[in-house]
Chain A
Amino acid sequence: MHKIDTDFIYDSQRLIFYKQSLAADDVSKIETLIPINDLFDSLKERLEAEDPVSSTVRLSALTQAGICLTNGCNLRCTYCGDNITNENLVSLTLDDVAVYLKEIMKRWLLNKLVTRKEEPLEITISGGGEPTYNWNLFQETVLLIEKKCADNHIPLSLRMTTNGILIPYQREFIMNHFSYVMLSYDGMPELQNKNRISSEYPISSNIVEDTIRYFLAHNLDFTVRTTLWQDDCIRLKDIIDYMVSTFGPRIKWTVLPVLPTGRALNRIDRKSDELKNQDFVEYYIEALEYSKEKYGDISIGTPMFSDHLIALFCSGLSCNCACPWLLPNRDIITCIDAPNTKTVIGTINDTGVEIFKKCVDPLLTQSIIKYSECRDCIAYRFCKGGCPAKHLMTVEHETALSNWECSMIEKYWMYVFRKILKGEECFGWKVEPINTIEEISGYGVLKLVRIDGDNDVY
């Protein structure tokens, strides 16, 4: 139960709000009549049935997979989570990709047999490393995937991430072959040229902006991702102004504060107290309100705050893997966003792809701990104990930002709840009175619902 302002209590197990002034008997009546809609107990049981040091790998039918071609990159971003230097450059070969692809296609076929549906096979080419760094390998990989899928009548959707350092024919190739691109650009030249540079590209903003313009002009579905140092979060409104005036209101944009990992660690340690006091959530909310007022509906988001209820735990667990990733060293892992602590569920060896029966799963260890530990957090239903990879970063190296993200998430939801309890709509959410249960119809109980009607609570 969570106290929201002076008036309301939020019951996260039922996703309802009721007045603090209600008598205990009335609260019991509400609790009896409105069932808990959180599958906490059964999911907890499922998690705890697994052994993190010898976890059963469950990778069966699938529709998504990822490939990280290389750990090489033409930039040296100041916060690079993978600390890319090109010193130990490793890349896949086209043969590795072919072997992996066959395994993925077989599992896609299995999904077709099981579900009797033909969802597109979604393959993402991404990194820690820049996927286009070895352009020939990248291009041949794309053509191979397309050919193999076409030969086997598998509908394909290709996605990628890029730092946008591309020349015209590379942009054209991407535009012709990809259905979605996540492109990194730090919002305005001043920040981009401070963060995302290298000796080869001391000023990277011009070339990346040209890439953005090209993709916009050719109607490619893409999102610009901006990574911000905590002390630059104060610039969010300026960034919105710059992005809209430079690229127009159609631009899709997400923003993410730097995580305490990789190359960012030194600076975070050095400036820890200053950074800890930077209130991302406040700047972010202010920026959203500002852009709404000034530009109407433009697409701004952040992966920090989920805008939906989360049904299950992290899909990067070996017992729950929905999207395997092939790394440049041929390891097959469960999550590409876990820079230090990877859960390796397989490899490519001389006979082909080997998916292990059991594996050591550090993400699972953290998930089990946080699944219960976080139960009382106000954000629990939108976070389910959070990202185990991020928790591990803080276990491995405690920084001033260790609990920073949690406190931001909690603040965000407190803000949303306060707003909607005033009768407003806020970031996709609102409240509705519960009038259908006669015994409590006069109690003023409100339920949390999404504006778009997508209220699938599990």
Chain B
Amino acid sequence: MFINNVESRVKKLVTESIDGELVLFNAEENQSIMLNRSASIIWEYISGAEASGKSVSTDDIVSMLCSLYSIPSDQRQRLYNDVIQVINGFYDSGLLIRI
């Protein structure tokens, strides 16, 4: 899949959730990550896109979040920056892998 035009893949993890917040675990590397609610939603969106062979962009994710939470358009830029940060965090922690 492509994320913002960068070819990437999602790491294989087992997941559980509490009230919509994800707990992710990779047994091979004994790596565990807990996500807050918005990071969980973004993660599920990206993994869902990969499973159905689609690409995603930060704009797609921001639009999804704006409609989900009825976020006014003047806050879109701030949200955009937050989403970029979350995606970078996924790369940094190895949840997303550039290929």
What residues of B have a CB within 8 angstroms of the CB of A107 in the complex? 34
- Min Cβ gap B30→A in Å is 8
State whether A110 touches B36 (Cβ < 8 A): no
Q: Check if A176 is an interface residue, CB within 8 A of chain B.
A: no
Contact A105 B18 (CB under 8 A): yes
Q: How far is the CA of A60 from the CA of B17 in the complex (A)?
A: 16
Interface residues as binary, A106-140 with B (CB distance below 8 Å gives 1, 0 otherwise): 11011011100000000000000000000000000
Across the interface, A106 reaches (CB within 8 A) one of B18, B27, B30, namely B18
Q: What mask results when residues 389 to 428 of chain A are scored 1 for a CB within 8 Å of chain B, else 0?
A: 0000000000000000000000000000000000000000
Instruction: Decide if B32 is an interface residue (CB 8 Å cutoff).
Output: yes
Chain A contacts for B21, CB-based, 8 A: 102, 106
CB A254 to nearest CB in B, in angstroms, measures 36
| Minimum CB–CB distance for A148 against chain B, Å | 8
Nearest CB on B from A195, distance (A): 43
Complex: chain A residue closest to B35, CB-CB: A106
- Chain A residue nearest to B16 (CB atoms) is A109
Checking B18, B27, B30 against A109 with a beta-carbon cut-off of 8 angstroms, the contacting residue is B18
Residues of chain A with a CB closer than 8 A to B25's CB: 110, 113-114
Q: Closest chain A residue to B15 by CB distance?
A: A113
A108 to chain B, nearest CB (A): 9
Question: In the complex, which of the residues A109, A112, A152, A352 contacts B36, with contact meaning CB atoms closer than 8 Å?
Answer: A352
Q: Which residue of B lies closest to A114 (CB)?
A: B25
| Contact for A60 among B14, B16, B32, CB less than 8 A | B32
Task: Give bound CA distance, A109 to B20, whole Å.
Answer: 13
Specify the chain B residue showing the minimal Cβ separation from A107: B34
Chain B 8-23 residues near chain A, CB threshold 8 A: 14, 16-19, 21, 23
Determine how close the nearest CB of chain B comes to the CB of A387; give it in whole angstroms: 30
* Contacting residues, chain A, for B34 (C-beta < 8 A): 106-107, 110
Instruction: Return chain B residues, CB-CB under 8 Å to A166.
Output: none
Pair A109/B23 contact, Cβ less than 8 Å: yes
The list of the 10 closest CB pairs from A to B, nearest first, reads: A113-B25, A109-B16, A109-B23, A105-B18, A106-B34, A106-B23, A110-B23, A110-B32, A106-B18, A152-B18
21 residue pairs of the A-B complex, CB under 8 angstroms, read A60-B32, A61-B32, A105-B18, A106-B18, A106-B21, A106-B34, A107-B34, A109-B16, A110-B23, A110-B25, A110-B32, A112-B16, A113-B14, A113-B16, A113-B23, A114-B25, A114-B27, A114-B32, A152-B18, A152-B19, A351-B36
